[in-house]
């Protein structure tokens, strides 16, 4: 099997991968770069998910790339529009021509002797194997398991005679026209499905165990519309609106965490005002604090409109058992359903399931911490692009991509082959990097998959754009925990049975 030699290999051609590739190419002219993508098109999540009404749950000015203005005044966008936007960016930035589709990354092993990764890849159409030798590896697969969503088994579901479907694998042939539909779940997917399907089904019910905090936003952004009318340049409009939205995201999150009782009162008051008289607030009053889980955005109050119309309804209860033609609840009520949509969430998997090793020794990601929330402790020449959970994903993805490009340029200028973040034992906590942020189901399940949270900088993940921007864009590349080596040098080739973490010296603490 012939091996292909490149400078940088990016795994994943979704938002994170396209951003990473673009920043690396811009910051390192002449670098050879390849993106491998398992799917047949770019877009990642936005190519996979095809359920009705799929849309962003973050405003597009911050969810879009920092280097490519989102020109539409609409605050949210549909999945197909987002995928086209990502593909257009990939084409314009020279990334699309460097992307190889239908490839699944199987394993990656780093050698200190050569200072390079050997990545084994499978062409899923033919089953043939390919081998890449890369100086630097970027994991940009997000953290969803694209193969297997989270799908709990329900009592009696084998007796159900209707159609069961999970939104992650929506059948193209599924026609729900005139049918009774029940959506199990209360997250962004369920909140989206109700208004998207209500007009053509007989009735649609959202069955939830616990409500979610909802925030109604206008369909279009007044500030963006005003700047468009003034014929402000697209770049200026993008800069102004993006800065405002980042500040609003950060400010609202901080407010909710610091003043949860007041925030709850405000959020529930807004729901009450939007939903109108006769609303049963039991369906909209979560048991947890604001931002213990993500807020769900309701554009133009579309959810409340279909609830008022009678085309949709909400049931807050627990499932007792499925029946032949629906679901019986703990209360004794029964929901008749021709179609049940299990919007029960996602499973988490890093690197698309690719096995990671250094000098032939397997790496357990769950035992490592992240350096500046981008590099993996003790693993050379590897960036993990992971977005925010409490703000727009792309804000963090862009920062991580920019930092990776800066790091590569620094290594090239100074003749370094290897960059390895080195942590001390006291730098890791027992929590995962997502364990302290939110309490959503997929966040809790991520504890068994994700790296550990750090106890201090630069190992602690803050989920704070302003803090991360200062650390990733403004701070110097060289610091105590980041060690640089030359391939094959005595200090860089580690004998079998040793671990770079075990040899770490306690880095100086910040004053």
- Identify whether residues 458 and 480 lie together within a single domain: yes
Q: Report which of residues 489 and 418 the model is more confident about.
A: 418
Q: Are 419 and 492 in contact (CB under 8 A)?
A: no
Residues in the chain: 511
**Which H, E and C letters describe 447-459, residue by residue?**
HHCCCEEECCCCC
Q: Per residue in 268-298, pLDDT tens?
A: 999 999 998 888 999 999 999 999 988 999 9
Average of per-residue pLDDT across 448-464? 92
Inside any domain, residue 494:
no
Instruction: Give residue 43's pLDDT band: very low, low, confident or very high (50, 70, 90).
Output: very high
Bridge partners for 362 per DSSP: 357
- Identify whether residues 162 and 294 lie together within a single domain: yes
Residue 314 DSSP label:
E
- Residue 398, token pair as written in the block: 């862009």
Instruction: Give residue 507's pLDDT band: very low, low, confident or very high (50, 70, 90).
Output: very low
Average of per-residue pLDDT across 187-198? 97
Nearest residue to 315 via CA among 186, 440, 216: 186
Q: Report which of residues 425 and 240 the model is more confident about.
A: 240
Task: Tell me: pLDDT of 159 over 60.
Answer: yes
Inside any domain, residue 502:
no
Inside any domain, residue 508:
no
- Identify whether residues 185 and 314 lie together within a single domain: yes
- Residue 72, token pair as written in the block: 């539409």
Cα 465 from Cα 226, distance rounded (Å): 27
Question: What's the pLDDT at 461?
Answer: 93
- Identify whether residues 335 and 358 lie together within a single domain: no
Cα 192 from Cα 225, distance rounded (Å): 24
Q: 162 is in which domain, residue-wise? A: 157-342
Question: What's the pLDDT at 503?
Answer: 38
Share of the chain above pLDDT 90, in %: 86
- Identify whether residues 299 and 418 lie together within a single domain: no
Question: What's the pLDDT at 276?
Answer: 85
Q: Per residue in 458-476, pLDDT tens?
A: 999 999 999 999 999 999 9
Q: Per residue in 75-100, pLDDT tens?
A: 999 999 999 999 999 999 999 999 99
Nearest residue to 137 via CA among 106, 98, 109: 109
Question: What's the pLDDT at 498?
Answer: 44
pTM of the predicted model as reported, rounded to 2 decimal places: 0.92
- Identify whether residues 300 and 358 lie together within a single domain: no
CA angle 24, 7, 460 (to 5 degrees): 55
Question: What's the pLDDT at 491?
Answer: 61
Q: Which of 327, 342, 357 is the last residue of a domain?
A: 342
Task: Tell me: pLDDT of 235 over 50.
Answer: yes
Query: Looking at 200-214, 339-353, 494-508, which range is the least confident one?
Result: 494-508
Long-range contacts formed by 504-510: CB under 8 A, 24+ apart? 504/422, 504/423, 504/424, 504/425, 505/422, 505/424, 506/424, 506/426, 507/422, 507/424, 507/480, 507/481, 508/480, 509/456, 510/456, 510/457
Count the neighbouring beta carbons within 10 Å of the beta carbon of residue 277. Answer: 5
Question: What's the pLDDT at 480?
Answer: 85
Nearest residue to 55 via CA among 225, 63, 279, 241: 63
- For 324, how many CA atoms within 13 A lie in the half-sphere containing its CB? 0
Q: Which of 298, 327, 342 is the last residue of a domain?
A: 342
Q: Which of 342, 375, 404 is the last residue of a domain?
A: 342
Instruction: Give residue 168's pLDDT band: very low, low, confident or very high (50, 70, 90).
Output: very high
Task: Tell me: pLDDT of 176 over 90.
Answer: yes
| CATH number for position 237 | 3.50.50.60
- Identify whether residues 133 and 198 lie together within a single domain: no
Average of per-residue pLDDT across 386-399? 95
Task: Tell me: pLDDT of 441 over 80.
Answer: no
Inside any domain, residue 501:
no
- Identify whether residues 224 and 81 lie together within a single domain: no
- Identify whether residues 312 and 424 lie together within a single domain: no
- Residue 467, token pair as written in the block: 């803090």
- Residue 419, token pair as written in the block: 């960059």
Nearest residue to 336 via CA among 131, 138, 180: 180
Widest CA span in the chain? 75
Distances (CA, A) of 309 to 13, 184, 414: 41, 21, 66
- Identify whether residues 79 and 30 lie together within a single domain: yes
Per the prediction, the chain carries an average pLDDT of: 92
- Identify whether residues 326 and 445 lie together within a single domain: no
Task: Tell me: pLDDT of 496 over 50.
Answer: no
Inside any domain, residue 258:
yes
- Identify whether residues 196 and 231 lie together within a single domain: yes
Inside any domain, residue 50:
yes
Cα 103 from Cα 241, distance rounded (Å): 38
Cα 144 from Cα 169, distance rounded (Å): 13
Question: What's the pLDDT at 448?
Answer: 76
- For 269, how many CA atoms within 13 A lie in the half-sphere containing its CB? 6
Question: What's the pLDDT at 435?
Answer: 65
The total number of structural domains in the chain stands at 2
Question: What's the pLDDT at 27?
Answer: 97
Q: Are 138 and 385 in contact (CB under 8 A)?
A: yes
Question: What's the pLDDT at 493?
Answer: 46
Cα 384 from Cα 201, distance rounded (Å): 42
Question: What's the pLDDT at 2?
Answer: 79
Task: Tell me: pLDDT of 416 over 90.
Answer: yes
Which string of DSSP letters, residue by residue, matches 330-365? TTS-EEE-SEEEE-----B-GGGG-EEEETTEE--G
Question: What's the pLDDT at 227?
Answer: 96
Q: Per residue in 30-39, pLDDT tens?
A: 999 999 999 9
Instruction: Give residue 361's pLDDT band: very low, low, confident or very high (50, 70, 90).
Output: very high
Q: Report which of residues 241 and 502 the model is more confident about.
A: 241
Inside any domain, residue 450:
yes
Nearest residue to 352 via CA among 6, 17, 5, 2: 17
Question: What's the pLDDT at 241?
Answer: 97
Q: Are 395 and 455 in contact (CB under 8 A)?
A: no
Inside any domain, residue 503:
no
């Amino acid at each position: 099997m012939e091996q292909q030699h490149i400078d940088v290999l990016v795994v994943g051609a979704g938002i994170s991968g396209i951003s990473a590739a673009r920043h690396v190419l811009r910051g390192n002219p002449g670098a050879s770069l390849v993106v491998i993508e398992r799917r047949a098109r770019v877009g990642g999540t936005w190519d996979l998910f095809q359920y009705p009404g799929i849309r962003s749950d973050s405003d597009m000015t911050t969810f879009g790339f920092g280097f490519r203005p989102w020109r539409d005044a609409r605050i949210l966008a549909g999945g197909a529009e987002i995928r086209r936007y990502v593909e257009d960016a990939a084409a314009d930035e020279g990334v699309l021509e460097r992307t190889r589709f239908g490839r699944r990354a199987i394993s990656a092993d780093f050698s200190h002797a050569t200072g390079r990764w050997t990545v084994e890849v499978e062409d899923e159409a033919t089953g043939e194997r390919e081998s890449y030798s890369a100086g630097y590896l970027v994991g940009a697969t997000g953290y969803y398991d694209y193969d297997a969503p989270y799908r709990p088994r329900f009592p009696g579901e084998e007796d159900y005679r209707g159609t069961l479907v999970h939104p992650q694998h929506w059948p193209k042939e599924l026609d729900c026209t005139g049918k009774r539909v029940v959506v199990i779940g209360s997250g962004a997917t369920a909140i989206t499905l109700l208004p998207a399907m209500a007009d053509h089904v007989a009735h649609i019910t959202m069955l939830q165990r616990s409500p979610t905090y909802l925030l109604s936003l206008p369909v279009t952004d007044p500030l963006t519309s005003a700047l468009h009318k003034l014929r402000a340049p697209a770049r200026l409009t993008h800069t102004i609106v993006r800065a405002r939205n980042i500040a609003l995201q950060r400010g609202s999150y901080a407010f909710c965490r610091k003043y949860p009782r007041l925030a709850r009162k405000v959020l529930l008051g807004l729901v009450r005002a939007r939903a109108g008289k006769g609303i049963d607030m039991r369906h909209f009053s979560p048991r947890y604090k604001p931002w213990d889980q993500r807020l769900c955005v309701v554009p133009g109050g579309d959810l409340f409109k279909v609830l008022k119309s009678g085309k949709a309804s909400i049931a807050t209860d627990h499932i007792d058992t499925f029946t032949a033609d629906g679901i019986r609840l703990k209360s004794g009520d029964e929901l008749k359903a021709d179609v049940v949509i299990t919007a029960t969430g996602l499973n988490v998997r890093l690197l698309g399931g690719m096995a990671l090793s250094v000098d032939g020794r397997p790496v357990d990601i769950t035992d490592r911490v992240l350096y500046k929330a981008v590099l993996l402790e003790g693993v050379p020449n590897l960036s993990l692009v992971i977005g925010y959970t409490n703000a727009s994903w792309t804000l963090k993805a862009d920062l991580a991509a920019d930092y990776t490009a800066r790091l590569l340029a620094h290594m090239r200028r100074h003749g370094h082959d290897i960059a390895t973040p080195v942590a001390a034992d006291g730098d890791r906590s027992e929590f995962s990097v997502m364990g302290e942020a939110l309490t959503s189901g997929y966040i809790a399940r991520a504890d068994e998959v994700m790296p550990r949270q750090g106890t201090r900088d630069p190992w602690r993940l803050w989920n704070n754009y302003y803090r991360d921007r200062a650390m990733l864009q403004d701070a110097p590349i060289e610091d105590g925990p980041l060690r640089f080596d030359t391939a094959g040098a005595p200090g860089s080739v580690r004998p079998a049975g040793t671990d770079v973490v075990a040899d770490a010296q306690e880095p100086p603490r910040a004053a």
